[in-house]
Amino acid sequence: MGWTDVDHEPEDIAFEKDAAEKRRLGDAWLNSRRTLLARVQSAVLPEASIILMNPRHSAAAEIAPLKTRPFSFKKCLELPPFPS
């Protein structure tokens, strides 16, 4: 898991079920270079958002490297033991 501090507001990209349209919207945002960040709805957790960074944006080179920490999906998915 990683994060960094960025002083830019993300552009909201509407959720799209169709994979081809989703790809088209993402490619259009990437190629336009109009914003550094985009916020998209998570396909896994609809109540959550994913923030994407556009490496083609002029401010991308100013972003500090990610701070990271270990993260285990397996530990998140394990259930506690149930009493017998």
- The torsion angles phi and psi of 67, rounded to 5 degrees, stand at -90, 130
Q: Which pLDDT score is estimated for 3?
A: 66
| Predicted confidence band of residue 64 (pLDDT cuts 50, 70, 90) | confident
DSSP 4: -
| pLDDT average, residue stretch 35-45 | 92
Q: Which pLDDT score is estimated for 69?
A: 79
Question: In this structure, what token pair is assigned to residue 50?
Answer: 């994913």
Q: Which residues contact 2 (CB under 8 A, 6 or more apart)?
A: 66, 67, 68, 69
Residue-averaged pLDDT of the chain: 86
pTM of the model: 0.70
